[in-house]
Chains A and B, each alone.
Chain A
Amino acid sequence: MSDPILAFEDLTLGYDRHPAVHHLDGRIEPGTLLAIVGPNGGGKSTLLKGIAGRLAPLAGRIVNTFPHMAYMPQIGDLNRDFPVTVFDLALTGLCGRRGMFGRISRTERDRALEAIGLVGLSGFERRSIRTLSGGQLQRLLFARLMLQDAPLILLDEPFTAIDQRTIDDLLEIVARWHSEGRTILAVLHDLELVRRHFPQTLLLARDPLGWGATSGVLTTDRLETARQMAEAFDRRAAECHRAA
């Protein structure tokens, strides 16, 4: 089987005709660990939404031949008041494989317990998700991602408002995924963390300002350019006729 492809072809994504990601071209090699950085409103989350199929492109296209993916949105739809246990929520990670009807085996239950242990939530299995702290919930969502066992993983600000110890734990899991050959795209703001743990970076401020080895992308000049991006949409912006 040939390697799966994730590529952007003159991709423009946005809202109400205004671009949030503007004319992005490029290709993500399988096994890449890519950080996506840039200012607020720079199109980082929008790009992940586009890849996840939650947002149709305004122009251009996304080619994605990965058989399935796991997507952790920044603000998910998870109903935190819903009365289920930590263990049950972790098990929902199997829904992709097992579907809505398939039997969940003893082994899979053990894998769920193992995943809960790996994110440091052993002993929480029977707790209601309502009682978890923000960081604990984030760990749990990582356990669910592990059970999804996807070759392509999209993380939208996975470490925001998380303590250092948890970040370290979760980064270890990301490193593990990377070593297993999974393709990981993560939207991040902590540039130090990106420099230390992410070999590749895409700097996005509506227009792509750099894409490649992290050290080459996160230069003072480029970060300064990104900072200059006008965040608000220009309501009187002319129609874009940039050639593909």
Chain B
Amino acid sequence: MVYDLLVAPFVEFPFMRRALVGGLAISFAAAPIGVFLMLRRMSLIGDAMAHAILPGAALGFLIGGLSLGYMTLGGLIAGFGVAIASGFVSRTTLVKEDMALAAFYLVSLALGVTLISASRSNLDLLALLFGSILALDDPTLVLIVAVASATLLALALGYRGVVMECLDPGFAAGVTRFGWVFHFGFLTFVVLNLVAGFHALGTLLVVGIMMLPAGSARLWTDDVSSMIAIAVPLAILANVTGLLASYHLGMASGPAIILVAGLIYGASLALGPHGIVRRYFPQRHLEA
């Protein structure tokens, strides 16, 4: 019974196994990235960046058809272009990072839509927007796992720098001239993960697996490393549960994963030690 419910789908169907592997890889990398995005108050930046990537991927499709290489390259170019341009603008002018990014991604989006409609192609926008985790082929899976591995390695090496850039950017600038390396390095991995993830979850939903576990983890702990340690398993839980739900209930799998992540977030919001229940039913205060 439990076996039929939880294990059989993955044993019997290769596409479920591939989806599981892809989902796990994305969880390991995207959740920590999401924690840092959240702590930098850049939770919406992932979304903006995803919008910037969309036209690049679409353009790749127009040039090379439904090819992993062209679409990935297009997404990367658009994502990095927007990230670098907005990073440069926010560091050299009075315009802050959110406005700088908003400007570039809006232009990128408009440009992409213009090009696509001008070409009158039969691009399946829905697949681009919401992904196809049940149809991951080998090269795509390799791309996703490679990006996840690189992300984890880079985060492990650059952890202190990324934390410092978040915690006290002014201080970081005083002690090292290379603060920007960590900043841009971090944005690089945001883009990489969004691009790798969009093949599975689509450009828009991939942001969900980044941010929702991070937001959930925030409600359970007050320490950045524990937050990562909580966000990753939550992302994995959402992936596995979402896939199973989509299998048994016949739901679209990408949205199902994000919906489960949303449920976890809702539960954390209610029950976490920094959540709503504690807020309205506090424990008695202490003596000192």
Residues of the A chain whose Cβ atoms lie less than 8 Å from the Cβ of B173: 54
B160 — nearest CB in chain A belongs to which residue?
A100
B167 touches A52 (CB 8 A): no
The number of A-B residue pairs with CB atoms under 8 Å apart is: 65
A77 touches B171 (CB 8 A): yes
Q: Which of A83, A89, A96 has its CB near the most chain B CB atoms (within 10 A)?
A: A83
Query: Complex Cα distance A51/B235, Å?
Result: 46
B158 touches A71 (CB 8 A): no
B223 at the interface (CB under 8 A from A): yes
B178 at the interface (CB under 8 A from A): yes
Residues of the A chain whose Cβ atoms lie less than 8 Å from the Cβ of B227: 83
Interface size class of A (residues with CB under 8 A): 20 to 34
B222 touches A100 (CB 8 A): no
A32 at the interface (CB under 8 A from B): no
B170 touches A92 (CB 8 A): no
B259 at the interface (CB under 8 A from A): no
B286 at the interface (CB under 8 A from A): no
B221 touches A83 (CB 8 A): yes
Query: Complex Cα distance A84/B167, Å?
Result: 8
Query: Which of A73, A92, A128, A130 has a CB less than 8 Å from the CB of B164?
Result: A92
B222 touches A96 (CB 8 A): no
Residues of the A chain whose Cβ atoms lie less than 8 Å from the Cβ of B166: 79, 82
A73 touches B170 (CB 8 A): yes
Would you give the shortest CB distance from A123 to chain B, in whole angstroms? 11
Would you give the shortest CB distance from B225 to chain A, in whole angstroms? 9
B170 touches A76 (CB 8 A): yes
Would you give the shortest CB distance from B75 to chain A, in whole angstroms? 29
Interface size on B, residues (CB 8 A): 25
Residue-by-residue, is A151-193 near B (CB-CB < 8 Å gives 1, otherwise 0)? 0000000000000000000000000000000000000000000
Interface SS of chain B: helix, strand, loop or mixed?
A: helix
B237 at the interface (CB under 8 A from A): no
A52 — nearest CB in chain B belongs to which residue?
B174
B160 touches A78 (CB 8 A): no
B168 touches A79 (CB 8 A): yes
Residue-by-residue, is A78-111 near B (CB-CB < 8 Å gives 1, otherwise 0)? 1100111100010010011001110000000000
B118 at the interface (CB under 8 A from A): no
B39 touches A78 (CB 8 A): no
A83 touches B164 (CB 8 A): no
B122 at the interface (CB under 8 A from A): no
Query: Complex Cα distance A69/B163, Å?
Result: 21
B102 at the interface (CB under 8 A from A): no
Question: B-side interface residues toward A, CB under 8 Å?
Answer: 39, 157-158, 160-161, 163-164, 166-176, 178, 182, 221-224, 227
16 A–B contact pairs at CB < 8 A? A69-B174, A73-B170, A76-B168, A76-B171, A77-B169, A77-B170, A78-B168, A78-B171, A82-B39, A82-B224, A83-B223, A92-B167, A99-B176, A100-B158, A100-B161, A100-B176
Q: Known contacts A92-B168, A100-B176; can you find 14 more A-B pairs with CB under 8 A? A: A76-B171, A79-B167, A82-B166, A83-B39, A85-B223, A92-B167, A95-B160, A95-B175, A96-B175, A100-B158, A100-B160, A100-B161, A100-B164, A100-B182
